[in-house]
Structure 1
Amino acid sequence: MTKTLTFKNAELAPVGNFLATLSLKNKASRGRTKLIKFISTKNDEYNEDRKEALEPFFKDGELLKDAAGNVDQENNAKAAKVAAEIEVEPAVIEFTEYSDKMKALYEAISDYSGELSDTDATIYDLLMDQLETAFENEKEGK
């Protein structure tokens, strides 16, 4: 059975950064390292897709300008819309090959004793939702 985690493109970097701050040992640490590598690869793909999609709205690294030399507001709005659409696209991370390491990561962070607040708490919840879905389905035979 294929095991996956699904994040929005814009969530990739915050999740990876959060994982890097956790104090983990042994197999859980190795699972974190693998997951960070997967996240980094997906984030690189996202950044490349974003760059390609926004290229028509820029010239020489700046938003296109109107005849008066001001930023073309219609163009700016279109670029913002394209960027927003790409940010919410799903980034699916397949980790079947490293399932035992990811399960160790899941178990370690489900019992994580460190305090989490603000953004870290939100990212922790997001990550746990994904890991729970991956491993709870396993228990149910799905």
Structure 2
Amino acid sequence: MTKLIEFKNGELVAVGNFLAQAKLKGKASRGRTKLIKLIEEKNKEYNEERDTIRDPYFQVDEKGEKIVKDNNYVLKDTSKGKDLDKELADLAEEIVGIEFTEYSEKFKALYDALNNYNYELSDTNAVIYDLILDKFEKNFEKEGK
């Protein structure tokens, strides 16, 4: 049975950052490392897609480099800024799947460790923690039934 964990493109960095700082050991830590690597691959794809969307909107110089003014790329047509923002927002909301059947045992250990996590979490970390557990529960709780 194939196992899949899904996140929005815009959640990938926050999930990876949370996992990187979580205090884990043993098999759970190995599961975390595998998941972070898979997230990094998906985030790389996301950034490439962002560039593909953004590039046509920006002015370039004679060398083909984007023109920068006040630390921002210069739009070809300033009236199209909202169109660009909408396309990027839509891309950030797209769901990406990370197939992890091969690492199921390590991911189960990660899920168990996070489910029994004894450290206090607040703000963004608490939200990301809840998100990760919700995603894992879809895979692991149905196994127990």
TM norm. shorter chain > 0.5 = yes
Contact 1:31–1:101 under 8 Å retained in 2: yes
Gaps of 5+ in 1: 67-71
Give the aligned partner of residue 24 of structure 1: 24
Percent identity for Structure 1 against Structure 2: 54
Deviation, 1:103, is 0.2
Give the aligned partner of residue 2 of structure 1: 2
Gaps of 5+ in 2: 61-65, 67-72
Question: Normalized against structure 2, the TM-score is what?
Answer: 0.89
Contact 1:10–1:88 under 8 Å retained in 2: yes
Moved over 3 A (4+): none
Give the aligned partner of residue 138 of structure 1: 143
The one-letter amino acid of 1:116's match is L
The one-letter amino acid of 1:85's match is D
Give the aligned partner of residue 40 of structure 1: 40
Q: Does 1:63 align with 2:74?
A: yes
User: What is the alpha-carbon distance in structure 2 between the residues aligned to residue 58 and residue 138 of structure 1?
Assistant: 49
The one-letter amino acid of 1:111's match is N
Residues 77-136 of structure 1 deviation map (CA, whole Å, 9 limit, x = unaligned): 111011001000011000000000000000001000011000000000000000111111
* Aligned residue runs from structure 1 range 43-122, under 5 A: 43-60=43-60, 61=66, 62-66=73-77, 72=78, 74-122=79-127
Question: Normalized against structure 1, the TM-score is what?
Answer: 0.91
Pairwise CA RMSD of aligned residues? 1.0
User: What is the alpha-carbon distance in structure 2 between the residues aligned to residue 40 and residue 16 of structure 1?
Assistant: 8
Give the aligned partner of residue 69 of structure 1: none
User: What is the alpha-carbon distance in structure 2 between the residues aligned to residue 54 and residue 65 of structure 1?
Assistant: 11
Contact 1:4–1:93 under 8 Å retained in 2: yes
Contact 1:7–1:91 under 8 Å retained in 2: yes
The one-letter amino acid of 2:2's match is T
Secondary structure of the residue that 1:114 maps to in structure 2?
Answer: coil
Contact 1:14–1:123 under 8 Å retained in 2: yes
Number of positions where the alignment pairs a residue of Structure 1 with one of Structure 2: 134
